[in-house]
Amino acid sequence: MISGAAPPRPAAHPQPQQEAERLVTVFTARGSSDQLPPRIRRLQNHLQPRRDYAVRAAVEEADDTDRAFTQQELDRAKSCTPCWPMSGQPGTPPCWP
């Protein structure tokens, strides 16, 4: 090939799709709670309602970032040069002081 491009590399595995599916099956089986001792599974079942409640409470709690942008923030963002890919080039103003 005269184009100068590197020739395509062969697949790292002769059957990559089948190998990926096999690995997913293995990891799923090994990560299953069924692999845990009965005492630990009972403890998990006992703690599950508390964990569910904690997740629901966290989802409903407002975060500082859950607010609309102010017009000043939008104007500031539009006026600056994107940080990438021109950051560090001479004459490029920084995005944020």
Q: 1-36, pLDDT tens digit by residue?
A: 566 788 888 878 899 999 999 999 999 999 999 999
Residues 21 and 28: their CA atoms lie apart, in Å, by: 11
Instruction: Give ∠ CA 95-77-71 in degrees, rounded to 5.
Output: 145
Kindly tell me if the per-residue pLDDT of 93 is higher than 90.
no
Instruction: State the DSSP code for 49.
Output: H
Rounded to two decimals, the pTM is: 0.43
Residues 10 and 8: their CA atoms lie apart, in Å, by: 6
User: For 51-70, how does the pLDDT look when each residue is reduced to its tens digit (9 = 90+)?
Assistant: 999 999 999 998 888 889 89
